[in-house]
Structures are given as C-alpha cells and as structure tokens.
Amino acid sequence: MTRSHSDSRALLDNAKLNKDTAFTEAERKKYDLRGLLPPAIETIERQLERVQSHLAAKPSDIERYIYLMGLASRNETLFYYTLMSDPARFVPIVYDPTVADACLTFGHIFRRSTGMYLTRDMKGEFREILRNWPVKEVRFICVSTGGRILGLGDIGANGMGIPIGKLQLYTACAGVPPEGLLPVLLDIGTTNAALRADPLYLGLRELPPDDAEVDAIADAFVEAATEIFPGVCVHFEDWKGTDAMRLLARYRDKILCYNDDIQGTAAIVVAGLTTALQIKNEKFSAQRVLFLGAGSAGIGIAGMIASAMREEGLSEAEARERIALIDVNGLIESSRTDLNEWQKPFAHDATPTKDLLEVVKTFKPTVLIGVSTIGGAFTEEVVREMARLNERPVIFPLSNPTNRAECTAEQACSWTDGKALYAAGVQFPDFEYQGKSYHPGQANNFYIFPAIGLAVFATRPARITDDMFIAAAAATADQVDRSARERGMLFPLQANILETEVTTATRVAEHIFDNGQATVERPSDIRAWIEGLLYKPVYKEL
C-alpha cells in the first residue's frame, strides 16, 4: 500500500527519526520521501558544516541558543552530534550562561513545546496527564517550579529552560540515551509581578501557595510520576531554597531522587577543593571555610565539606566550627532568631555583623565561597585580606549568570598577585597576568550530575545517597593530573567531557555495586559495560 503524504511528512517532522538530507536513496523510495527533499544525500559530517556556518552567522549566543533548540526539535541526532563535536563550545550556549538569557525571555522566544507543563490545578489529574507523554519508559524526570533559577530568582514557567537544558547535558556530556528523559515544569505560580503582567508570559498568573499546599502538589506529582514511570529517577532542580531542602528531606529515603542544586553543587565544590588542597598539600580538616550565601546551595555545600572533614577525623561539632556562613541578614550566629532548621547547626557564638570584610578578618578563612548571587561582592579589600591570611587563598565565586559572580578570574588573580586558587560558577575567558597564561576553572555541576545520571541509568539503584556524590567528586578531582594542577587548574578540560563523565560514572557505579545498592548483576568489566550503554549520535537505518 502506498503511504499517504501525511505519513511522509510525519517522518520528516519526527525529531528522533528525521535525518533531513541524510536519508538514503533507498529510504526515500521506501518512505515516499522523493521530491520532499533536495536531491543531495549528505553525511552527518557535512550537515554539521552547515550547522556551524549557520551558527557563525548568528549575532549573539541567545540567537545561537534559539537556533540549536530549533534543531533539537527538528533533528535530534544532528543536534546531539553538534553538541558532542565540541562540548567546550556548545555547552555554554545550550546551558550556562546563555540559558539565563533564554529563561529571562522564555515566553518571548518560545517556538515549540518541549517536555510537559503541569499546573497546580491539575493536581488530581497528574496520573492521567502524565500518560499523555508518548514515551512510556521514562528513566529521568527533571522537574522545576522555576522558583529559584540561577541568580535570577523566581521566574515561574520561564524556568522551563533549565529542565530542558539539564537533560540535554545528560546526553551531550555523559551519553545517557535521550528518549528516556522528560523535562517537567510544575507551575505553582510565581512571585514575579513583572512576569505576571507580561502579555507573553506562558505560566499561571498567580502567587504561589503556602508550604503545605506546595508539599501536597509535590506529593501528588511524585506519586503519579513513580506510578506511571516505574523506576524513574526524579531530579529536583531550581526550586525555592526552603522548598528544595524540605522536599529533598521528604523524599530522599522514599524514592529514587536527588536535588542537583544541593547535592550536585556540593559535589563539584568538593571536587574543586580536593584539587586545590592537593596543590596546597593540605587536608580538609585544616581548612576554615566562609560562605557568602546560606541558602540551599550554601547549606548543601557546607554539609558535604563537613562530611569530608569528618572522614579525616574531626567530630561533627569540630567540623561545623570550621565553617561559617553569611546570609542577607548577616553572619549565621547563635543570637539570630530567624534561622531555618538547616542553618541552625552552623550558628556559632560570634558577634553579629553584616560586614564580609570584618568576618574575613575575624574568622580567618582559608576558603571563600560565594553563593550569594551578588555580583562583585568579593571586593578588592576582601580578596586582598584573603591573600594576606593565606599563601594560596581558595576563592570560589559560584553565583551565576556571569554578572552575578562575586568576582572575576582576573580580579582574583591580580588582587592576590597570582596566588589565588580560583573557580567560578561560570566560565571566564583565558587571560594573561605578568606574562603567564591562566585558564580559569569552572565549578559547574555538569561535571557531576550527568555522570550520576549515567551511573544510575546503568545500575538502577533504589535510592541515591550522598556517598555517590562524594564518589563522583573524588573521581572528578582524580582526573586533574599533576601538570594541570601546577597550572592552577582545578577541574578536567571540558573538551574531553564525555571521557571524564564516563570515568566518573564508572567510579560511582563501582561504589553502587560495592555497597549492594544496584538492582542489576555486576558485570566483570564495569567501564566496558557502561560504554556499551552510551548513546551515540548516528543515524539508524530505517
């Protein structure tokens, strides 16, 4: 029977099957595609040339982002082939920092729906609605409320760019097959009045409910998702800080889940600190760590650093005494009555103050970490004081996007006479200082969460533990060789990100098997087994 024209068009409109100009002559005849495509039959390598020329002609990274998202919705294989051909170039376009601009303008640049949008008023229908997703074996759901996106705050439905981008990095950075990945925006409303008034805003124009209702909505979603997609891993992303901490505690021992803002961020910081301390020939237990920012990311990082200190012999109390945090209301200290339950363990007897420089002088930190989203908060005076106190000060301004970084790489270098061990949450460009070339490190979670995803995809554990993130941090740090450390590099090169992530995933998988957490049989060669599971962006014969 001859296929209808609509069947042929449906094949060309199917992003997972479409090859565009790479359909062979035999396929064109078989699927009635003759005349619907130009006569040239191209390889994927030739198609990449065209993609690269299109991207080169775009005037800005946000325009390149829009083009690549369009490519993903039209030809998924070519999209991933492009990203994986040069991850150091393309990851910053499809994710941080360009995704910040994409989220700010999400409703204005919207072209085609990707993923699923669930609203609070659908709470009783989540099961029925999730069944509308065409893929039945979903292995990972990345879900956000848009309540705390990067350094942008609450942007509601505009935050959908983050789950989309995060899951694309599962595949581009770690080879997790894309067909089992589902981005979800759980729309509970937004506190952002400007967005609620924007005629092109795509979300609910309502204020979010109270915590009890948020918990009820989250419960309904988790129950529906785990029933409709058995064995699914729920990746919580960019929820409001107090929601994030509360819900991770609520679900972590009940379902397969994790929160990348808390656990992934903590792991990448521990990885960078591990490398920095190797350079300094020091231990975690000898550090004094000061945070500017005490939300979910800061508390998560502090907790994992405390765990690293305990592994070196300190008690819980001793570890916490070596960690201090400052939030918008000042130093976290014992006279404060406004602390939440996660901040209270880090409250010490100290003089109340909001002055970062004063705390640096009195607390005498060896490590300064910024998760404040306050651009320029690490002033010259603060950084110079860190250099006065330490031969090699460790300075991690982790806030993003770029204009929210607490200081730049060049500033940290010049204000410490080149002594700082530095990593930011965004990738700053290479620079020269006193005749020496510097390649600033990026403490970005994409070194960690895709590898965790790959290990979980392979081993199918029932739960995800902090120990898995600590194993991922150690594996990441171990891949920075001595020559790289001598140049001040704290993380592996992004150009080899797939190799890095597979190595990290192998280590995490070994940990999962060693601790009896896997639900599949242990293979004799874990790395070869994982490599055999990787997605490869090649056209399949139809």
**Domain final position from 203, 235, 255:** 255
Q: Is 238 annotated as a binding residue?
A: yes
**Domain final position from 255, 272, 292:** 255
pLDDT tens figures, 225-275:
999 999 999 999 999 888 999 999 999 999 999 999 999 999 999 999 999
pLDDT tens figures, 331-366:
999 999 999 999 999 999 999 999 999 999 999 999
pLDDT at residue 36 greater than cutoff 90: yes
pLDDT tens figures, 186-198:
999 999 999 999 9
On whether the CB atoms of residues 93 and 60 are closer than 8 A, the answer is no
In a shared domain, residues 434 and 456:
no
In a shared domain, residues 348 and 476:
no
Q: 405, 427, 434, 418: which is closest to 487 by C-alpha?
A: 418
pLDDT tens figures, 60-103:
999 999 999 999 999 999 999 999 999 999 999 999 889 999 99
Per-position DSSP letters for 427-466, written without gaps between them: -PPPEEETTEEE--EE--GGGTHHHHHHHHHHH--S---H
Q: Is 444 annotated as a binding residue?
A: yes
Radius of gyration over every alpha carbon of the chain, rounded to an integer in angstroms: 24
In a shared domain, residues 440 and 454:
no
pLDDT tens figures, 435-492:
888 888 889 899 999 999 999 999 999 999 999 999 999 999 999 988 888 777 899 9
In a shared domain, residues 268 and 243:
no
Q: Where are the alpha helices (DSSP H) in 95-160?
A: 98-104, 106-109, 126-130
pLDDT tens figures, 120-161:
999 999 999 999 999 999 999 999 999 987 678 899 999 999
Cis peptide upstream of residue 429 (ω within 30 degrees of 0):
no
pTM for this structure? 0.92
Per the structure, the count of domains in the chain is 3
**Domain final position from 411, 444, 477:** 444
Tell whether 504 is covered by a domain. yes
Burial of 521 (0-12, 13-18, 19+ CB in 10 A): exposed
Q: Is 237 annotated as a binding residue?
A: yes
Locate tokens 């490869």: which residue? 536
Residues serving a catalytic function are: 95, 166
Tell whether 22 is covered by a domain. no
Report the mean per-residue pLDDT for the chain.
94
pLDDT tens figures, 389-415:
999 999 999 998 888 999 999 999 999
Tell whether 522 is covered by a domain. yes
In a shared domain, residues 220 and 176:
yes
CATH number at residue 466: 3.40.50.10380
pLDDT tens figures, 504-518:
999 999 999 999 999
Q: Is 261 annotated as a binding residue?
A: yes
In a shared domain, residues 362 and 471:
no
In a shared domain, residues 321 and 413:
yes
pLDDT at residue 3 greater than cutoff 70: no
Locate tokens 């199918």: which residue? 460
- For 378, the domain range is 263-444
